[in-house]
Structure 1
């Protein structure tokens, strides 16, 4: 079971002070968050991809390449890589390069994002969003797995005798999760390829995501990749912690109320009731996170958001300390209990390389 942090990189005014960080400060804060995640023993740091204010992470590979140079163990991922508006050739090359620089500590969450205007900014039609996701990913897989690609599709110019460079590290492509909060077509796509499915379930009730994850698991088995229980699932989460739950609620409420994403609708208490958001003590975070297995089955990756809505960096680093020291060690132990032996761990470069080598090894001669 992998645990980590994801950030969307929003630049939001701190409602307690009225101060808005600069883009420079926010970018540097994201790096500090990643370094703290490794320091406290978390497994994954993931950054979103956005091309509009109030967000800053327009170039995930630049950010992750810098973090790779300053870490040794942390898996570097994306909360979303925009498969619809990025050129698959550029994705193939950028993330293969990052894979080499990070010694294989790289995977991706492919998604369509949540900003409609990004499509025309990159010359695409939002009405073709699902079709773009399907065609672009099919090409990306070929670019990573075939040394020479001849290809023709609907949404970009044809390729003739094209080789993407650099080639994936050790000839093994980065593992891909397909992220979705609403589209069964993306769950189907993940299942078809035997890839992971990341349900960033931080905004909507669990029943919605139960339907998506159940569909993914059933179709994963349908395509012959394993049993439904062996499908590779990741989940999101959002936390704010203090030793006293009343203090946590009192401190976090202004950030919730002024959040451009969460605020302006239902109350904080209603939001916590309906979504994975937990504002309280570390023990309450543990208790609620453990219910995710009851709702969605055994899964492989749990990422938490702790830095949105204008929270100051000092406070965010305190949250990560509590996750690493008090929450995640208990979750690791609890999630390991009664976990079926045939439920796989989240794939890593090392495990994918070992599986490839085992598949390529000649079978032993039969005993005479």
Structure 2
């Protein structure tokens, strides 16, 4: 089971001081979160992609390459790569380049984004969002798996005898998670290709998340990639932890109330009761996260949002210490102990490379026997 942190990179003033944060400060704080995740032994760190205020991470590959140069072990991911408004040729090239720089420690989560105005900024129409997702991702897969591509489609100019460079490291494309919080077509797409399905369920009640994950699992089995419970599932989450649960609630409340995401909606207590938002003691966060397994089955990746909403970096790092020392070790032990042997781990570059080498060996064996 992989555990990690993700950030969306919002620019939100600290509600306790009213002091704004600059873009430079926010970008540097995101890097510090990534380095802290490596220090604490987390498995993954993921950055979002946004092109509108009040967010700063418009270039996740730049951020991830910078982090790659300062880390050795942690998997570098995205919590959204916009498959709709980015050119799939550029995605293919950028993430293959990042693969080489990071020695394979790269995967990415495809998403459509949730901000309508972004589409015309990049010459696209939001009404084509799902169709763009299907066409662009189909091309991206071909660019990573075929050395020479001839292609034509609806949304970009044709390609003739095109080779994307650099080629994926070891001939193994980055593993892809398809991220969605409400669209069954994306669960179907993930299942069709045998890719991962990531539901960032931080805003949704369990019955909504369960429907999409069950659809993905059923279709994963339908397409012959394995049993339904072997499908590759990732989940989001958000926590705020203190040793005493009431201290956590009291301290987090101003950040929640003034959040550009949560503020003005349901109360903190309502969100804690109806969604995966976990504010409390380490044991309460453990219990809430273990409930995910009960609701959705065994899964492979848990990403947790610990920054944003104006929380100062000092407190964010304290939260990560509590996660790394008191929460994740328990979750890892409990999740691994309860997972059946036939349920796979999350794919990594090493496991995908080994699988490719094994397949090549198996394909050569009949030829050698015939000789």
Structure 1: 4+ residue segments shifted above 4 A: none
Give, in angstroms, the shift of residue 204 of structure 1: 1.1
Report the equivalent of 1:130: 130
CA distance in 1, matches of 2:232, 2:109: 13
CA distance in 2, matches of 1:232, 1:360: 23
Report the equivalent of 1:57: 57
CA distance in 2, matches of 1:11, 1:206: 29
Report the equivalent of 2:195: 195
Within 5 Å, give how 1:291-310 maps onto structure 2: 291-310=291-310
Give RMSD over aligned pairs: 1.0
Give, in angstroms, the shift of residue 265 of structure 1: 1.3
Report the equivalent of 1:248: 248
Within 5 Å, give how 1:19-168 maps onto structure 2: 19-168=19-168
Report the equivalent of 2:266: 266
Aligned-partner SS, 1:291:
helix
Aligned-partner SS, 1:363:
helix
Within 5 Å, give how 1:338-357 maps onto structure 2: 338-357=338-357
Give, in angstroms, the shift of residue 20 of structure 1: 1.0
Aligned-partner SS, 1:337:
helix
Unaligned runs of 5+ in 2: none
CA distance in 2, matches of 1:336, 1:167: 35
Query: How does the TM-score come out when normalised to structure 1?
Result: 0.99
CA distance in 2, matches of 1:213, 1:172: 26
CA distance in 1, matches of 2:91, 2:277: 32
CA distance in 1, matches of 2:308, 2:264: 16
Give, in angstroms, the shift of residue 363 of structure 1: 2.7
Report the equivalent of 1:363: 365
Unaligned runs of 5+ in 1: none
CA distance in 1, matches of 2:326, 2:221: 36
CA distance in 2, matches of 1:18, 1:218: 48
CA distance in 1, matches of 2:105, 2:292: 26
Give, in angstroms, the shift of residue 40 of structure 1: 0.5
Give, in angstroms, the shift of residue 263 of structure 1: 1.4
> How many residue pairs get matched?
367
CA distance in 1, matches of 2:365, 2:115: 50
* Residue-by-residue CA offset, 1:156-179 (whole Å, 9 max, x unaligned): 000000000000000000000000
